Structure 1
C-alpha cells in the first residue's frame, strides 16, 4: 500500500509518497499549485500505482481542500480526511518542534499508517458532496439566527429608550403592525406628532391572521403619556434594525424552503421521530455525514460533544462533570434545540426524562441523557434504514 500525504494550502499544496510496508519515503515532499495544472502534476506522479493500493490523506480544515478532494474522488481514488488536531498531536508525540509544509506531509502519512482498530481518519466518498450543500445551508441558517438575536436585542434597547411602554401594547413582538410602526415612526414623540389617519395606515394589513386588539387611538394615547426620550440616533437605529431583521427573516425563509426540498428528496428515517423537522433532520444528517464512518452509537455521541466528561485521578473520581463539548457545535446546538419537542411529543422520551429528574438529576442533565438516547436511536435508524417505532422502545 502506498500512502500519499497532502498538506493543504491556499495557493499551493505539498505531497509525499510513503511505502506502508517498509516505511520508506518513495517520493520526497514536493509542491504543486492549487489549479488544474497542479492537479494534473499530482496525477502524473501517482498514476503508476494501482488505485486499490493507494490511500491519500489530507487534513479536513477550512475549505481549500474541497476542489482537490472532489478531483481525486471523481477519479475514484480513496481519500482519508484527518482532523488537524490529530496531526498536531501526532507531531508533538514524536517530539517534533519544527512545523512546515514538507514535514506535515510525512506526518500525515504517519497518521495514515495506523492499525485499522486505531485509525484516526475517516474515508471520504463521492456521495459526501451531496451533504456539503445541506451542511452549508443549515449552518448558514444557524448563523442568521444568531444575527437575528443580536439585532433583536439591539432593537429592544433602542425601544426602551424612545418608547419603553411600546412592547406592553402587544401580545407578541415582531408582528406586521409592530414592525410597521417602528419602521414608520420609531419613537413615541413621532407618533404623538402624527395625525391619526397616518397611524391607521400602519394597522391596515392584508392576508390571513388575527387582527390585534390595539387601536390607533390607544397607541397615540399611550405615546402621549410615555416617559421615552426623543433621540434622533436611536430612531435611525430602530429603522435600520427593523429593515435588517426583516431582511434576515426573508433570507431564513428562503434557506428553509431549500432545506425542505433536500429533506423531502432524502426522505431519511429520522424524520419519523416526532419533534424532528425538515431543518433539524437535515442539520443532523449533514453534520454526521456518512453513518458508515461510525461503528457504534458512542462514536456519534462523542462527535456531537454530548458525552459526559469523566475525570479520575488516583483515589478521586469527579461525581459531577459537564459534557465534553468537543466535535460539531452545530450538531450539538440542533440536538439541544429539538430535545424539548421530542420529549413533549414522545411518551417514551417523556418518561425517560422524568425518570432522570426523579433520580435527582437537574433539568439540563436530564436533557443530556435524552439527547444521548436520541442519538443512539438515530444511529440505529440510519444503520438499518428503519422507521421510528416508539413501541420498540418500551
Structure 2
C-alpha cells in the first residue's frame, strides 16, 4: 500500500508519499498550490502508482480541503479523512517538538498507515457531497437563529429603557403592528407626542390573521403615562435592531423553503417519526452523512456526542457521568430541540421518559436517554428504509 499524506493550507498544500510496507519515503514533502495547476501537479505524481494501491489522507478541518477532496473523489481516488486531534496526538506520542507542514504530511502518513484495531480515520465517498449543501443550509439556519435571539434580547433591553410597559400591551411579541410601532416611533415619548392618525397607520396592514385588540388610542394613552426614559441612542438602536430582525426572518424564510425542497427530494423514512419536521429531518441526515459509514447505532450516538462517559478504575465505577459532547454540535442541538415534541407525540417515548424520571433521573438526563433511543430508531429506519411504526416499539 502506498500512503499519501496531504497537509492542508489556505493557499498551498503539502504532500508526502510513503511506502506502507517498508516505511521508505518515496516522495519528500512537496508544496503544491490550491488551484488547477497545483492539483494537476499532484495528480502527475500520483499517476506513478496504481490507484488501487493508493490511500490518500488529509485532515478534516475547516473548509480549505473541500475543493481538493472533491477533485480527488471525482477521479476515483480513495481518500481518508482524519480528525486533526488524532494527528496532533500522534505527533506528541512520537516525541515531536516541531510542527510544520512537511512534518505534518509525514505524520498523516503514519496515521493512515496505523495497524490499530480501530482505524483512526474514515474513508470518505463521492456521495457524501450530495448532503453538503443541505448541511451548509441547516447550519446557516442554526447560526441565523442564534443571531436572531441575540438581536431580540438586545431589542428587549432597549424597550425596557424607553417604554417598559410596551410588551404588556400586546399578547405576543414581534407581530406586524408590534414591529411597525417600534420602527416608526421607537419610544414612549415619540408615541405620546405623535398625531393619532400617524399612530393608526402602524395598525393598518394587508393579509389574513386575527387583528389585535389594542387600539391606537390605548397605545397613546399608555405612552403618556409611561415611566420610560427618553433616549436618542436607544431609539436609534431599536430602529436598527427591528430592521435586522426583519431581515433575518426573511432570510430564514428563504432557507426554510429550500430545506423543505431538499427534504421532499430525500423522502427519508425518519420524517415518519412524529415530531421530526422537514428542517430537523434534513439537519439530522446532513450531519450524519451516508448511513453506510456506520455499522451500528452506538456509532451515531457517539458521533452526536450524547453518549455518557464511562469511567472505571480498579474497583470503582462511576454511576453518574456527563455526556461527551464530542462530534457534531449542530446534530446535538437539533436532537435536543426535537426530543420534547417526539416525547409528546409518541406514547412509547412518553412512557420511557416518565420511567427515567421515576428512576430518579433529572429532566435533562431523561431527555438524553430518549435521544439515544431516538437515534437507535433513526439508525434502524435509515438502514432498512422502513417507515416508523410505534407498535413495533412496544
TM-score by length of 1: 0.98
What secondary structure is seen at the aligned counterpart in 1 of 2:3? strand
Alignment-derived partner of residue 332 in structure 1 = 332
What is the SS of the residue equivalent to 2:202? helix
Cα deviations across residues 13-45 of structure 1 (Å, max 9, x unaligned)? 111111122222211111111111111111111
Q: Residue 98 of structure 1: SS of its match in structure 2?
A: coil
Query: 1:135 — aligned with what?
Result: 135
Match of 1:226 in 2: 226
Aligned-residue Cα RMSD (Å) equals 1.1
Determine the C-alpha separation between the residues in 1 that align with 2:328 and 2:38: 32
Q: Deviations over 1:301-342 (max 9, x none)?
A: 111111112233344433322111111111100000000100
Quote the Cα distance in structure 1 between the aligned partners of 2:168 and 2:315.
57
Match in the other structure for 1:293 = 293
Query: Counterpart in 2 of 1:2?
Result: 2
Q: Give the match's secondary structure for 1:209.
A: coil
Deviations 1:103-155 (A, max 9, x none): 11111111111237411111111111111111111111011000001000000
1:379-390 equivalences in 2 (<5 Å): 379-390=379-390
Alpha-carbon distance in structure 1 between the residues aligned to 2:117 and 2:75: 27
Quote the residue 2:257 is aligned against: 257
Alignment coverage as a number of residue pairs: 394
Q: Find the aligned partners of 2:52 and 2:389 in 1 and give their Cα distance.
A: 41
The whole-number CA distance in structure 1 between the counterparts of 2:180 and 2:342 is: 36
CA–CA separation in structure 2 for the residues paired with 1:219 and 1:37:
67
Indicate the larger mover: 109-118 or 25-34.
109-118
Equivalent position of 1:276 in the other structure: 276
Q: What is the alpha-carbon distance in structure 2 between the residues aligned to residue 248 and residue 296 of structure 1?
A: 39
| CA distance in 2 between partners of 1:116 and 1:210 (Å) | 65
Q: Secondary structure at the match of 1:56?
A: strand
Q: What CA deviation, in whole Å up to 9, does each residue of 1:46-97 have, x standing for no partner?
A: 1122211111110011111111111111111111111101111111122221
Separation (CA, whole Å) in 2 of partners of 1:314 and 1:155: 55
Partner of 1:114: 114
Which residue number corresponds to residue 313 of structure 2? 313
Q: Does residue 1:93 correspond to 2:93, yes or no?
A: yes
2-structure distance, mates of 1:270, 1:376: 11
Determine the structure 2 residue equivalent to 1:51.
Answer: 51
| Aligned residue runs from structure 1 range 1-394, under 5 A | 1-115=1-115, 117-394=117-394
The range that moved more, 74-83 or 309-318, is 309-318
Where structure 1 has 5 or more consecutive residues not aligned to the other structure, the ranges are none
Provide the rounded CA distance (Å) in 2 between the counterparts of 1:387 and 1:168.
46
Task: State the alpha-carbon separation in 1 of the partners of residues 105 and 196 from structure 2.
Answer: 73
Distance 2:83 2:26 in 1: 25
SS at match of 2:126: coil
Partner Cα distance (1:204, 1:46) in 2: 68
* Partner SS state of residue 39, structure 1: helix
Once the two structures are superposed, residues 257-311 of structure 1 have per-residue CA deviations (whole angstroms, 9 ceiling, x without a partner) of: 1111111111111111111111111111111111111111111111111111223
